[in-house]
Structure formats: structure tokens, C-alpha cells
Structure 1
Amino acid sequence: MSASLSGTIPRLDLRGRRPGLRELRAALPRAEVDVEAALLAVRPIVEDVRDRGAPALYDAARRFDGVAPPALRVPPEVLATAAQGLDPAVRAALEESVRRARVVHADQRRHDTTTTVADGAAVTERWVPVDRVGLYVPGGLAVYPSSVVMNVVPAQLAGVPSLAVASPPQRDHGGWPHPSILAACHLLGVEEVYAVGGAQAVAGFAYGFEDEGSVCEPAALVTGPGNIYVAAAKRMLKGLIGIDAEAGPTEIAILADAGADPEHVAADLVSQAEHDPLAAAVLVTDSAELAAAVQEALARRVAGTKHTERVATALAGRQSGIVLVDDLDVGLDVVNAYAAEHLEIHTADAAAVASRVRSAGAVFVGTWAPVSLGDYCAGSNHVLPTGGCAAHSSGLSVQSFLRGIHVVEYSEEALRAVGGHVVSLARAEDLPGHGEAVLARVPDVEPGG
């Protein structure tokens, strides 16, 4: 077996020291993803869609997907046919995935709250869904009907009144998106689906377009994972549209002690490495024996998996590695600094260890909760922050599609009671007009009271 296909994975030995956050962020493996460089390629695509609309989308499909769809909007009968042709086992799995996702996401719905600040003074926080969202589902090295579920379910439960899905056209399927993606849309009741991929899909949602009498209205928010060009388009268009995140290559980190099963650990590292040659797979452990056993298990599993070359490339890349630490306290420092998209805990008293995790997109606790469960049927959402963004951002949820609006209601007496403070602060900031707006209503208030 060649070294490139042996499951070789780099090592980083931190034993004998406890690095601080700054050193850890510099030392830990991470994929090199230059979104700024991708912007150079994406900008003319986005601007072309802005200027020419549908013709630009067709041209981009021929250029990047190798096929132009028969129409940009997928007809209802094509969606229905895809659902009818779905393998019964896959249909049952998708239906269960939808059911579990709905159960979990239903508990995320927020309710309006009114706070009485003083007599006659109230502030209500009202939660309002965005008016329209564009949901992107990738279709490159793999197709992801599960991503339809993860995008659509929280948007529907948030009460978004208008949503559309876009996914790349496929040469093998007559220029339509993959049938499993179309079937998932049909099962979820999504009727507005477009055969558009990549950065051009984000631009199409941002600006809107018209094709053969069908109008795609501009979206207020665009969500969903994608490649570096999708991320670059989101960055370029953020402000015109809201975005969930600039998703990068998938990541798995595993914190494990000597009691972990090396076969489970190796299988889970491979499961995420098969997504993409840039996928990150990181094991953090205080057991050199476990590290050696995982390395041996990887060699066997990489040789026997379907996407051997892709997995081996991901494991051997600078974004992957085995990190050796003195103990689990340092291990927690490492995984919190890394802030993985997916973090598994394979330790004694895994739940207690997991409770100390502060930065991760999702945490999978113990032997029986692999990341692949979360990818499909745990009920959790698999659209998660990558590239360390879990240190400050959350995964996709019902809240992603809601806006909090403060509604302020004050009586005359309530304004009179606080008006002097408003006048004082307005004068302190040299904005006298702010104070005068109060004095025009209650002219007898005194500054400071």
C-alpha cells in the first residue's frame, strides 16, 4: 500500500506543557481556506447574475456544472416523480429524520415577552420570522438530501412564509438537481426549487431573477453549506442578504482517553474525512497507546473504505492530526481552543467532560453518539460553524430565521418620570435635538430627574 493511501495522520505532541490559547490556535491543525482569494473568482459571477439574471445563471451552469437545466425552476411533476422513485428505505429514513428534527426544533421556538420597566412603561420583544429565505443544498462530491431537512425544518418551524431551495444541476439527471434532493423537497412540501448551484445560486437568491415567466423574488436570508465559492459569495453579499455562516470544510475532533475503543474512534475519523480532501479529522488524547491503536485501525479502514484516496488525503493533510496531551484538563483546553464543528467525547464519565466544553458546533457524548448520527437522524441540526467559528457562533436553528423586534410603549406619565434623564444624556452627548424631542412632549421636566 502506498504511503498516500495508508491512513497516515500527522502528530502534535503537547505533553509536558500546557499552552495558552494564543499558542494553541497557532499550533492546532486547520484547513487552509482562503475565502478572500476565492472572492476574485466569485465577484464577476455575482455581478453577472446581478446584471443579466437568468441568462447568467444558465451560462454559469454550463461552465461550472457541465450542463444547463431545461429550466431554472424545477417543475412540480419532476419533484413528484423524484419522490415516487425514491428507494423505500431511503424514504423511511428521510421521514424519520424529518420527524426527529421537527421534535427538537419545535422546542426552539421563541415567544413574545413583555417587560414592565415602570408604571406605564413597557418593552415587548416580538419574534418575527424573516419574510423569505433561500436555502442552499450542495451537490458536488456528494449529494445531501439530509441538508434539505436541516435547512427546511427550522425555517418552517420559525414560520418563514416564503422559502426556496437551490441545488446544482446534474448531468446524469437531465440537468435537474439530484433526485434524492428533489424528493426530500417534495416530502417537506417545498414547491419552489431551482437547478442552480455554487456562488451563482447565492447571487440569484440575493438579487432575484425571472425565467420563462417564473419569478424568483429576492431573499432576505440565505443559509446552507457549500464550497469555498459559496462561502465567498456569502461574504460578498452579506449586508444585502443575511447569511448563516461562511461554511468551510467539515471538521471532527475527538477527545478520548485510554478507555476509548480505537475502532470506534478510527471509524468516526474516516466518516468525516470522506466528505472532502480538505475535511479535518483531529484526535486529542492523553493515551499514547490509544493513539497508536487508532493509527493502526486507520490504516486498515482507509484501505477498505469506498473513497480511499479522498479519505487518505484528508487524514494526511495539515488540517488533520493526533494531538497528545498530559491529561484531559489540557485536552479540554485544546478542544475548546479548536472549537470544532463536531466534537465527540470518548472518555470515562463522558457527560461530565462534555459539560465542560464551551466551544463546539455540536457535542456527541459517549460511545453510542457518533457524528454520523447527528448528520442524519439525531434530531440535531448538522449545519454547524466551521473553521473555529464555534467559539462565537451557533449552528442553524429556528432562531436563525427569527428577528427580535423591540416594541416600546410609554404613557405620558412614564415619559415624564424618565424624561429628565433623557435630556441630561442628550446634552452630555451634544445631541440637544434628542432632548428637545422629549421636552416638546413634557416641557416641564428637569434634567437629571
Structure 2
Amino acid sequence: MAPRGAQGLVLQRDDHRGQAVLTFGRDDVTYLSSDAGVAALAEVAGYRLTDATRLADVAAIRKRFGERGTALIETTLLRRKAVAKLGDLAEVSEWLFTDDALQQATAAPVARHRAARLAGAVVHDATCSIGTELAALRSTAAMIVGSDIDEVRLAMAHHNVPDVTLCRADALRPVSRDAVVLLDPARRSGGRRRFDPRDYVPPLDALFDAYRGRATVVKCAPGIDFDAVRQLGFDGEIEVTSAGGSVREACLWSPALATPAVRRRACVLDRDEVVTDADPDDCPTRPAGRWIVDPDGAIVRAGLVRHYAARHGLWQLDPEIAYLSGDHVPAGVRGFEVLDELPLREKVLRQALSQRDCGQLEILVRGVDIDPDALRRRLRPSGRTALSLVITRIGTGAGERTSVFLCRASAALT
């Protein structure tokens, strides 16, 4: 039996990370939402709980609050993590979370983007968890309702978004009609990722069956196999979204909600740029020009590199590789100005870096099996200049070669 903490808080051992995982119970949520719990959380928020102070802080909190201290400490730490991820969405410093729920929660910019696409709709979030999507939808949707089968997360949602109608329901047993259904199946368990969409909870194929013919929006992992999704019967639009320089998710929009003629979409929220497979993709393949551009991960993941290149007057170095080149850098994009093209020979690279007084060295790799960190250690840059190496495969078969471009990176232009 797993050891228990404060009044129902279960401490389970996660062998993958070797850390204790805390599982909240309903009575924990009841306490944390009470006047006494709110006051206790306000007091615990005054502790630093850093690596340097953690032992002393935890001892003091447990002496003050007894077994309740475990739930108070965990909630305080989760709230601090949530501010960076969700802070633009709501007053999350007062929310309740579980660790898994916070990991899976949609980042604020992405949630707001989805809510904007659903402006004016009646939306049922059928896997509402702790209420992140509902918080974003409050300002755009005509009407919202949330449901979840997990009673603890639903109780947390009642605390987090008290103005939203909520009910307990199984997402595989529809309880609404004439509403857009938003679904976010779990892709983690105890910190472990699930990669097969049929292993999601609920499984993706079962969700498709349950809501066949309905207007649906399904949030998925960004690395999901697009072909596997199509084989499960999905025939709408796959949108890949990035924010803060990282690919955040893939979202499946059913045909009723998809843009006509669009099957794949990339949204780069940092630049408010949208690229779709309905855009032109006439992109040539040519040797490197003045600049090399590494497209945003959402564009690469959505398979829209050629479409992005055509929009900005760029070209590919190789038709199978995502690096682009051109005589300019698109606005808001970081580029790599080509100083030299070199062979992949470490002695040659070391001499070139030394001649240019390279100290800080960034290495980007596509199409070549090279560990950038290991290569950097072997090259031993020790100067004062920041430079970049862009290493890529060019050509196939007998004409295949590995090229190394010695570059100077630009700041993102505006």
C-alpha cells in the first residue's frame, strides 16, 4: 500500500523519475478551498522553498500544519510553476493543481489562440480537468460548460473557475448536443508520455467514434503521427502551434470547424504567423545564399517548409532538409549569416574557429548523425566571438555530402 500524507494525499513512487508523486484526494481539495486552507496557503506562500531553504522550510511547515503540510507545500510549488505557464490566463496563484494536470495544461498563449478560433461558439469542454481551457473560453465563447470523469480535478475546476457550469461525466459518453466538443485526452501518466494515440486516456479512436459527426476540437501531442491519425478516420485540419520558441501541440479540428481546403496549418504565435498547405509551395533548391534560416518548429512539424519558403522568397539547400537560404531574413526571424562553407573535418573546423576567435559556439544539425554537444567539446572553442555551425546533409546517393556552414547569428529582426 502506498504511504499516505495529509488526509488522503497519497505518496506514490514513480520509478521512472525516482521521485515521490503526490495524488490529491477530494478531502484535500475541500480543505485547500476552505477558509482555513486558503489562510494556510497564504502563510506557506511566504516560505522560499528553494534548494537552500527547503529542508528547514518543510520542517517548519509540517510543525505548524501537521499532515496538512504536504498538500500545502505541493500546492504552493505547483502554483509557482503555473505562473510562468498560465499567468496570462487567470489568477493562477490562487488555483489548485495536480502535478499531471499542470504538466498537461495548455500554455496561456495557445489556450487563448484556440479560444479565439472558437469565438461565438457554444463549447463543451468534455475533459476540462482543472479548468485551463474554460478560463480562456470565458472571454470568447457564447456559452461554455465543462465536464470531467476525475472527481478530484473537477473539484479543483470548481475552485478555479467557479463561474462555469461543471458536471461529472465520462468523455466517451456524450452529455451535450449542438455544441462544439473540446477534448484533451491524457498523454501522460506519472510523468511518462504516451505516444500511440490509442493509448491516450480516453483513446483517440474511441473519441472519434463517440463524437462522429459532431464538431470537435482535439488537443494532441505535437509529435503525433499524422498518418496514424488519418488512419483512425480523422478527415479535418491538423494545426501545429508554437509559442515561446517551442512547439506546444497539435490540434485536430473536425471538418465542420476547419478552414476550407486546409488540411495542415502551422501557427507561430510569437510572430502571429499562419502557414497552411493551401498556400503556394513553389520553392527552388539552390546553393546557400547570404543567410541560412531554420524555420520555426511548428512549420517543420506541419510539413510546410516549402510553403513558408515560397512566402518569404527563400529556397531549400536540399529538397529533403528543412534548412532554407536566401538573401534576406524574414521579419522577426533569427538568421545565420554565412561566413564560410567547410567540410566536416574536425581539424579544419578547429582551425577556422580559432582564426575567427570563436568562444561561444552554437551547433545546429539536420540530416546528419552528429551529437552537437560532443562535437563542441572536441572542437574546444576558447576565444571571445560567438559563432554558429550549421551542419547538414546535401544531396543523395553518389552525390551526397555533408556541408558545414560557419555562420554569425543575427538577433531576431523586427
Query: Common fold, TM-score beyond 0.5?
Result: no
Task: Report the TM range for the smaller structure's normalisation.
Answer: under 0.3
Higher strand share: 2
Which structure would you say has the larger RCO, counting Cα contacts within 8 Å and 6 or more residues apart?
1
Q: TM-score normalized by structure 1?
A: 0.26
